[in-house]
A = this chain, B = another copy of it.
Amino acid sequence: MQFLLEVVDILTNYVRKTFDRSTKVLDFHHPHQLLEGMEGFNLELSDQPESLEQILVDCRDTLKYGVRTGHPRFFNQLSTGLDIIGLAGEWLTSTANTNMFTYEIAPVFVLMEQLTLKKMREIIGWPDGEGDGIFSPGGAISNMYSVMTARYKFFPDVKTKGMTAAHRLVLFTSEHSHYSIKKASAALGFGTENLILLSTDERGRVIPADLEAKVIDAKARGCVPMFVNATAGSTVYGAFDPIHEIADICEKYNIHSQGAWGGGLLMSRKHRHKLSGVERANSVTWNPHKMMGVPLQCSAILVRERGVLSGCNSMCAGYLFQPDKQYDVSYDTGDKAIQCGRHVDIFKFWLMWKAKGTIGFEHHIDKCLDLSHYLYTKIRDREGYQMVFEGEPQHTNVCFWYLPPGIRDMPDGQERRDRLHKVAPKIKALMMESGTTMVGYQPQGDKVNFFRMVISNPAATRSDIDFLTDEIERLGHDL
């Protein structure tokens, strides 16, 4: 126990320093440097045990060479921040070290999951919060669930007979959508060629007329349109697909529709209109571990119709789901999952909700979007910056190019494009080497590498946004 308290001491010091802006975000080393053993940090495993003193040193080194994702200047991913209540929730969860498959060994967590999912369904707008759902290991798996439930609803025979029971099913998603829909198409046996990508407008939003045209075309080719994924907050642009118009088309052609991960905005009275129509989706993926700042992993798949999720996945294993238990076995939720053992992801989220209240999440969401607005208004007309698309961002994503002075006056053309394409990676590499901040970049379609700034960290302030742009300018000036 003394050992555990010494680890706690290391961890609380780490947390304190993470919130201190004079601490670096990371201390970058290449893989070969770490593998060679930095200052005695030996990653290799051996036959003989190490002393507890050495284990404490290992813990310190692990943190030292890692990345502080909770640092106010870490903007690299959609999941950032370090919520202390959420952290306490995770510590309790790992101390309880149990498994969500049965009420028998996770009574409190099973009930928390049930109540929380119901609350989320109420917020989506399903009558009385009716429906079903489950927490899964990440948004990609939640999206996989949504495709599976759609398939089961329309073609239940696939469960027993396989995909031969339902030929030529096709799925639709935005060309800007998350790649997990593609992964699900491959894994579940649809094939990625049967995932039809939808064209988007200049802001990255699906064009409903394109969806309808592609549905009609697919039917003409003898395919069966089964599933449309509407993205609420796309990964790069932060675009919100027009859910109502997509739902209209789905209802007309009897297709399953699925809302997506920008779920956090549903908690904001100011921003939830961006997901208007989400209540018409048959299933919704909602990742509290993104905009809502819940520690990783925390993702929910919510399904409008009861019974589909368990119908789709249940296999009634006799050694876990005995029907002759003394309690109401409808609380044994494990058979709804594609997993057997399932990590307890609910407690940290439940605890944060208790501690913040729904209004606390609302404030957090609103603040992040305010900060994005601040960044957008700061750089849209600033010399050296160019926005990737016109107009106010819909989500916290702000996509922009930084143009070093040497590029600004170059004529448009391949040479300028080539040089600009190398700017973001170079600035990013310099950022990581100096350890001061981190932000993502990528190309998109025919657009060369640009920065994608996202804000989900509750610790970030305007001064951190200012720091980021200063840093980009400092590191990129001479490129």
Contact = CB atoms under 8 A, between A and B. Distances in A.
Given A44-B115, A66-B96, A94-B94, A191 B158 contact: yes
A342 interface: yes
A30 B327 CA distance: 6
Nearest to A99: B296
A467 interface: no
B67 A112 contact: no
A479 interface: no
User: When A and B form their complex, which 5 residue pairs have the shortest distance between CB atoms, in order from nearest?
Assistant: A189-B189, A162-B191, A90-B94, A326-B429, A163-B163
Interface string A150-162: 0000000111111
A216 interface: no
Contact of A92 (B3, B62, B184, B438): B62
A88 B7 contact: yes
26 contacts: A1-B84, A3-B84, A4-B12, A30-B328, A31-B327, A31-B328, A31-B331, A43-B108, A50-B354, A58-B354, A65-B107, A77-B105, A79-B341, A87-B94, A104-B432, A140-B341, A141-B338, A141-B339, A158-B191, A161-B191, A163-B163, A192-B315, A297-B341, A319-B452, A320-B442, A343-B343
Interface size class of A (residues with CB under 8 A): 35 or more
A210 B243 CA distance: 53
Nearest to A452: B319
Which of A107, A182, A194: most chain B CB closer than 10 A? A107
Interface in A37-63: 43-50, 52, 54-55, 58-59, 61-63
A457 to B, nearest CB: 11
Interface string A304-345: 000000001101011110101111100100000011111100
A40 to B, nearest CB: 14
A405 interface: no
A139 B340 contact: yes
Contacts of A194: 161-162
Contacts of A438: 104-105
